[in-house]
Amino acid sequence: MPRLIIVAVVSLLFVMLLYLSTLFSGLSETSLDALFLLRGSRTPSPALAIIGIDDKSLQQLGSWPFSRAVHADLLRQLSESQVVGLDILFSESAGDDKVFNAALDKGAKVILAVAHGYSNHLRKPAPGLINYAGVGHIETLLGSKGVVRKVQLVQDDGLAALSVVMLKSTGRSAAVADIAVPQIINYYGPEFSFSYYSYVDVLRGKYPPEFFKDKFVLVGAEALGLGDVHVTPFVQRHPMPGVEIQATIINNLLDNSFIRSPWLLSPAVTLLFFCMALFYWPVASEKKNLFINLTSCVVLLLVSYGLFQQHIFLEPLRPIIFLFAVYLLHLVLQGIGITRELMSEIAALDRRLAHGLRALYTNVPSQLQLKPKNSKETHLLTGGLRRHLLHMHHGIQGLELQNRFIHHLLQEEVAPLILWELDDGKVVLANAKFKEFWQAQEQETGLPDLPEFLKFLSEHQLSGATAGAIPAQPVTELEERWSIDINLYFNHRLHYFQVKMHHVDEPFSSFSGVLVNIADITEVRELERMKSDLIGTVSHELRLPLTTILGYSEMLSEMLDSEQGEFAQEICSQATRLNSLIENFLDIAKIENNRNQVRKLPLNLVIVLEDSINAVTPAATTKDIHVHLDAPQKVGPIFGDEPLLLQAIINLLDNAIKFSPAHTEVQIQMFEDVDQMVVTITDEGPGIAEEDRALIFKKFNRGSGEHSVDGFGLGLNLVQQVIAGHGGTIRVERQNADTIGTTFSIFLPKPVEPFVE
C-alpha cells in the first residue's frame, strides 16, 4: 500500500509538470512536426494561385517596392479572378495612388493586407486607397524555434485574417467551430507546394486574364531578399514565403482541414497509463509489464498517426514520457522492496543456518562457527550480502561434513538401502550393501527399477499370516510403512530377509520417493523355529502324562464322594485348563511359523457365526446370557480357513460370556460392505480400560482389572493371528465413556474376483 501511495502522488505531480508547466511545452510541437514529416505532402487545391515577386521580377522591374502603377497593371491582368489578396502593405501614400485606386475599383475583388508594427500600431492601407473590398491581417503565431504552426483567424480586437476576409468576399463563411481560437495550420508540404507564377510573367501577359478565372489569387513576396519568409515543420532547404502560408490558410478554410486538437485526448491517455501503474503493474510480472508498455507506446503512435490523417492531433510524447518515467519509478520502488525482502530473507536464512548447524552437531566444529576468525573476515562482515555468503560457505562446509558422515554410514554401517523416485520408479540412491545383495542373486547388471524390484519380491515372498503382503499398486498406495518377508539363497544357504518399504516425501524440495530397507532375519527365524520346536516337543511330551492325569482324575471324581471327590474334581479342572493352554500354545506357534497355513477356501460367514453360537450356548445358558445374532439371510462368500475362523469367533464369544454378568445379552452383528465383511461382538461386561486396549492382543495379557476370571491371556492373541492370516484386522473399543460393555470389530476382505461355483 505505501508503494501505491508513492506512485500515485509522484505520478500526479509529474502530470502537473507535464501539462501545466512550460518545461515540456515543446514536446507537443515536436510531436506535431514529426507527424507532419511522417504524413508527407498533400495536394493543395487547384483553385488557388500564388503570384510571387521573385528574383526574376526584381531584376526586370527594378528594386522593391514596385510603383503603385505597376501593381495596377497587374490587377488588370487578374480581372477574371474570383478574389485577389495582396500580401503587401500599402500603409504609406504614393504619387500614383489614384492609378492604383482606379484599378482597385475595376475587375476582381481585392483584399489588402494589414499588420501590427513593433509598437503594436496597426499599419492600415493609405488613406487615398478606398476602392478595395476589405482588409485582413497577415500575422501568424510563432512557436518554439520560430516555427509557424498556428494562426488566429480573428484577433482579440475583431480584426480577421486575410484568408477569412477573402473567403467572406466570395459569400462563404469559415467552417471553424471557434474562429477566435488559434488554429493549427495543416501544411500541404514544404515550400513551393502551391502553384507559383512569376509576377513579371503575369504582368507582361504570359498568362491571359481568363487563366486566373474564378481562382483565389494571392500576390506576395517570393524572393528571399525581400525577407517575408518563415520556418514551418516542412522546411527543407529554405524557409517558406509568407504568401504561401497565407495560401495554406485559405486552403484549410476551403476544405475545412485545420488540425483539431481536443485538449482532453492526451490527458485521457495519460490517465489510462496512470491506472495501469496503480492496478496492473503491481500484480503482473515484469516481462508482461514491459511487453504491455511497449505495446501501448506502439499503439499510441499508430493511433496518433491514424488520427492525424483525419486532421486530429493526439499528442503522443507526453503520455509516453509519463509512462516510462512512472514505470522507472515503479521499478525503483520494486527494487527497493525486493532488496528489503532479500535482506530480510538473508537474515532469516542466517538464523536457520545457525540453528541447523546447532541441531545437526552436538558441538559445532570450530571451523564452522559463524563468526570472523581474522580482521579480513571482519571487514567482509560489514556487508549484508558478503556476510551471508560467508555464512553460506560455512553452511556448505557443514553439509559436506554431514554428507561424508552419512555416506560412510550408508555405505559401510547399515543394512542394504535403496531409494527410487516415485513418479518414474528410477533409482536415486543405493548403498554398497544393496548392490552386493542384488548382485549375489545373479541378477542382471545394474540396479532394478521399482516395478522390477516388486516383481522380485513377489517371486520370493514367504506365504502365511506373518509374511506381509505387497500392495496391488504400491507406487500410489505407499502412504505408510509396510513390510514383507522373503526367503532366498544367499552365500549358498537359505536366508530370510525382512523388506521394509515406505514413502519418502520432502515438501521443501518437492521430492517424492520410495525407500526400501532390507534386514537379514535368518537368525531370528531360526530362533523362532527352535522356540516352536521346543514348545511343540515340550507340549507333546506333556500331553501323555496330562491325558493320564485327566483320565484318572475324572474316574476318581465319579467314584469318590464328599471332600475326596471335590479334590479329584479340582485335579480334573486344572488338568483341563492346562490342556487348553497347551492347545492354544500349539495353535499360535503353528500359525506364526506357517506350519498351519491359512487355507483360502470359499465359506459362508453366517454359518460360521451360527456354529460358534451353538458352541458357546451351554456356557451362556449357565449364566442366563442371551446371544443374539443380527445378520442378513444371504451374503456373498469369502475365502478363508473355516475351522480357524470358527475358533477365533468362539474365543471372542467365550470371553464375552465369561466377562459379562448374568442375565445380560451378547449381540453379534454382521453386515456386508463394498469391499469387506464386518462382524461386531458386543457384551455388557465391565469394559476394557483405554490403557489396556493396545496390549490385550499380546500373549499372557489379560488386562488390569480382570484377574478374577480364569484364563491365560492367549485367546485374543490367537484371534488376532487368525484374522491377520486372512488379511483382515480386529479392533476393540468401549461403548462410550458413560456406559459399560466392550465391542470387538472384525474386518475381513472380500475376494477381488467373484466366486464361481
Q: Is the pLDDT of residue 519 over 50?
A: yes
Q: Is 308 or 582 the better-scoring residue by pLDDT?
A: 308
Helices (H) and strands (E) in the chain, counts: 21, 24
Cα-only R_g, the chain: 56
| Domain extents in the chain | 2-22+268-340, 40-255, 414-519, 526-592, 601-749
As a whole number, mean pLDDT of residues 577-604 equals 66
- Weakest-pLDDT range from 308-317, 631-640, 662-671: 631-640
**Rounded distance between C-alpha atoms, residue 161 and residue 180, angstroms:** 11
**Cα–Cα distance, 517 to 415 (Å, whole number):** 7
215-230 pLDDT tens trace: 999 999 999 888 899 9
| Alpha carbons 64 and 70: distance in angstroms, whole number | 11
How far is residue 549's CA from residue 574's CA, in Å, rounded to a whole number? Answer: 10
Region of 752 (left: φ > 0; alpha: ψ -120 to 50; beta: rest) is alpha
* Entry field: residues in the chain: 757
The average pLDDT across 618-639 equals 87
CATH architecture designation of domain 414-519: 2-Layer Sandwich (3.30)
Classify domain 526-592 at the CATH class level: mainly alpha
Lowest mean pLDDT among 58-67, 205-214, 246-255, 655-664: 655-664
Q: For the chain, give the mean pLDDT.
A: 81
State the cell numbers at 325: 518515467
Q: How large a percentage of the chain has pLDDT more than 70?
A: 79
Alpha-carbon distance of 227 to 225, in angstroms, equals 5
Give phi and psi for 750, each to the nearest 5. -85, 155
CA distance readout (Å), 38 to 152, 233, 309, 317: 26, 11, 10, 15
Who has greater pLDDT, 358 or 112? 112
Banded pLDDT at 469 (limits 50, 70, 90): low
Alpha-carbon distances of 285 from 80, 198, 233, rounded to whole Å: 71, 65, 41
Predicted local distance difference test score (pLDDT) of residue 141? 92
* Residue 45 to residues 101, 108, 168, 191, 513, Cα–Cα distance (Å): 30, 20, 18, 15, 84
Which homologous superfamily is 601-749 in?
A: Histidine kinase-like ATPase, C-terminal domain (3.30.565.10)
Torsion of CA 520, 526, 527, 533, to 10 degrees: 160
Please give the C-alpha separations between residue 236 and each of 34, 148, 186, 193, in angstroms, as whole numbers.
14, 14, 17, 12
pLDDT above 50 for 756:
no
What stretches of 443-583 adopt beta strand conformation (E)? 482-490, 493-506, 511-520
How many angstroms separate the Cα of 59 from the Cα of each of 65, 96, 199, 218?
12, 22, 11, 21
Close Cβ partners of 229 (under 8 Å, ≥ 6 residues apart):
238, 239, 240, 241, 242
pLDDT at 737: 53
Angle value at C-alpha 384, between 380 and 385, nearest 5 degrees: 85
In contact, 554 and 522? CB cutoff 8 Å: no
Q: List pLDDT tens digits, range 127-173.
A: 989 989 999 999 999 888 889 999 999 998 889 999 999 999 998 88
pLDDT-derived band at 340 (thresholds 50, 70, 90) equals confident
Of 376-380, 467-471, 574-578, 590-594, the poorest mean pLDDT is in 376-380
Cis peptide before 65 (omega within 30 of 0): yes
Of 315-324, 578-587, 623-632, the range with the lowest mean pLDDT is 578-587
Contact 275, 326 (CB under 8 A): no
| Burial class of residue 733 in the structure, from the number of CB atoms within 10 Å of its CB (0-12 exposed, 13-18 middle, 19+ buried) | middle
Q: Where are the alpha helices (DSSP H) in 256-316?
A: 265-275, 286-309
Local confidence band at 565 (pLDDT 50, 70, 90 cut-offs):
confident
For 119, counting Cβ atoms within 10 Å of its Cβ (0-12 exposed, 13-18 middle, 19+ buried), the class is exposed
pLDDT reported for residue 475: 46
Q: Is 513 in contact with 419 (CB distance < 8 Å)? A: yes
Q: What is the pLDDT of residue 238?
A: 82
More confident residue, 541 or 639: 639
Q: What is the pLDDT of residues 289-305, one digit of tens each?
A: 999 999 999 999 999 99
**Pairing mode of beta strands 48-53, 216-221:** parallel
Q: Identify the band that residue 597 occupies on the pLDDT scale cut at 50, 70 and 90.
A: low
Spatial distance between the Cα atoms of 696 and 499, rounded to a whole number of angstroms: 27
Q: What is the pLDDT of residue 358?
A: 66
CB atoms inside a 10 Å sphere around CB 248: 26
Mean pLDDT, rounded, for 612-633: 88
The 8-class DSSP code of residue 642 comes to H
pLDDT tens digits, 39-96: 999 999 999 999 999 999 999 999 999 999 999 999 999 999 999 999 999 999 988 8
Better-predicted residue by pLDDT, 336 or 307: 307
User: Does the pLDDT value for residue 630 go beyond 60?
Assistant: yes
Render the burial of 262-287: b for 16+ CB within 10 Å, e for the rest. Answer: eeebbbebbeebbebbeeebeeeeee
